[in-house]
Structure formats: C-alpha cells, structure tokens
Amino acid sequence: MPTRSGNAFENSVALLSQQLQVDWSAVLERHSGKEFTLEDRSLASRYALWSALEEVYDKTDFPFAVAASAARTPSNFAQLACICSPNLQTALQRASQAGSVFDAMQLSVTESDGMLTISARSTDNSLPMPESMQVALLAYCVEVTRLAADKNFSPNQIMLPEMAAWHSEAAAFFGTEPGVGAPELHIRLDDALMSFRTNHAEVWSVLETRLKLSGSSNLPDSEKVNEVLYALLPSGLSTVEHVAAKLAVSKRTLQRKLSAEGETYQRLLHKTRQQLAHYYLSLADVPVNEIAGLLGYRDPHSFLRAYRGWTGERPMKADPG
C-alpha cells in the first residue's frame, strides 16, 4: 500500500507485476541476473528492477499498461495524493511533495501560455532512467485525469524518442500522433484544471500529516508502524512479526514501544485498513476483490467480515463472487 519508507519502489513494482499478470519470481531472476538484489536499494538497482519487469512483460504497450494500473490502483503516497486531488495541476504539485509517482525519478512541471509541460528525469544525472519509465509517467498523467475527471481528453502534444518501440501504441493511447524528442507531455491548462470526481480532502489531510511527520527525526513508533503497513499490506505480510522485522526490532520491543504511546499493533492495523478501505471503496473502478488484496486480505470474504465489523454493514460494491 502507499508508502514513503523502506522498499517503497520494490513494493510498487511487485504490485505492478501482480496487476500485469507477470511472474514476480521471473522478474526477480532477471533482476539478479543483472547482478542486483532487492537488498541493494541503489538507484541503479531500482532501474534494473523496472527494466526486468519490462523485459518479462515483453509487450510493446508496457508503459501504458503500467499507467493504467497505477491510475486505477495507487501503490504509493504520490499516486494516492494524485487521485484524491481536486485536479491534475494540484495532483502534480502534491506528487512532487510526496516523492514521485513511480519513485526514483524527479518530476518537472512548468506552466507557460496556458499550457503545462510535464517531464521526468533521473535523480542522478550520471544514471539515465529507463525511457519506458518516463513515458509511463506521462501516460499516467493522462490516464489519471481521464479516470478521475471521467473525461476522455487528449493532450495537446506528446514527444517520444524516435526509435521507441511503443510509437503506434502511443498514438492510440494519447489520441494524438507523437512528435520526436525527449519524453515530454504538453497539456492545456484548462484540461489540467478539470475537476476530479475522486477528490477527497480528508484522505489528503491524513497524507499531508504523515508527510510532515516523515520529515521529523521524532517520528512516533505508531507512525513508523503505519508507514511499514502501507508497504506490506498488498503482499499479505501484515503480522506484527513482519513489521518488527522491517523496523529492525523484536516483536516484544515493538509492542512495548506502542504500549508506551497508548497504542496496540492490532488497533493500528485495523485503523490503517479501515482508512484505506473507505477511500478505495469510493473509487468506482476498483472491485472488492482487488481492494481486499490491497489491504492484505487473502480472502475477499475476510475483508467483507472486517468491514461489517467496522461499519455494521456490507460495502456498497458488487459481491466478490
């Protein structure tokens, strides 16, 4: 689930592999073949992991499939900050504050003559980021606006490298023929200001508070647990033992620290799941089955029972089947 700590990028890629129906073990094998491990959190390792996912996926619509998945199912703070914003312009401002849409990149947004120009580059000038990651970011900006504003708009212009494998898919996706150049997106300001029906001030308030706390050296242990839970929930690893291991403390020490703050691990787990459940249920295009998985429930019916315990009723979504 959305996170800014620990293996944020790795968890996002793992979730993408699941949504794209790509064998995660094959991605890891390809990644290790590039002489990297998940424990290596260098920028080079992250870019290699992205490239491994692209190679195993092995279809020319890769950046657009990634964009559709990320817009529909946020997997980090920046993506969640985008989808709960009032419009794309605000979404991009919040994404920059929260980190970046796909992590491991620096987002650039400029405004001139009624147009927004959007691009992304590596956080290390000596290490170029994969072009497909740049294009996925641009495609995400379009897809999240179409989804959240419920309008099928096309950008004013899209620039792509001349030899890109996905030129034909790009024309169909963006609704305009790509120009040749470094990946860059030009969107009319009027389109960037279209209202998002997924706007949710309460969710942003929670995110903004956590972002401020994340920059503090005195982050409460309960907040540290929350951030780790956001990372671990989609993988189903939500036990106190898993969280303690991520925080490099023993289970007993973690429980003692939480108790000193007047909290328990189970209460934090329920609170985190409940907050995110309410938001995901407000997104019309995310089914109950998928929400259950994002919250760390292996069985959708377990999620439905938990939801009934929180609210006294079933979600308004369709039956999980």
**Structural domain for 126, as ranges:** 8-192
* Cα gap 123→47, rounded to integer Å: 11
Alpha helices in 154-264 (DSSP H): 167-174, 189-192, 201-214, 221-232, 240-246, 251-260
Q: How far apart are CA 304 and CA 220, in angstroms?
A: 31
Q: What is the mean pLDDT for each group of 10 consecutive residues in the chain (321 residues)?
A: 52 83 92 76 90 95 94 80 92 81 84 95 91 94 93 94 82 94 95 92 77 64 81 75 84 94 94 83 76 84 90 69 47
Same domain, residue pair 26 and 78: yes
pLDDT of residue 216: 55
Buried b (16+ CB within 10 A) or exposed e, 106-135: ebebeeeeebbbbbbebeeeeeebbbbbbb
Nearest to 102 by CA among 144, 60, 156: 144
Q: Can you read off the two tokens belonging to residue 224? A: 């540290």
The number of domains in the chain is 2
Query: Cα–Cα distance between 240 and 242 in angstroms, integer?
Result: 5
Residue with structure tokens 């508070």? Answer: 209
Same domain, 251 and 145: no
The answer to whether position 153 is within a domain reads yes
Pair 183, 303 in one domain: no
Q: Are residues 16 and 125 in the same domain?
A: yes
Query: 167 and 262 share a domain?
Result: no
Residues 153 and 280 in one domain: no
pTM for the complete prediction?
0.76
Answer yes or no: is 210 within a domain: no
CA distance 187 to 92: 12
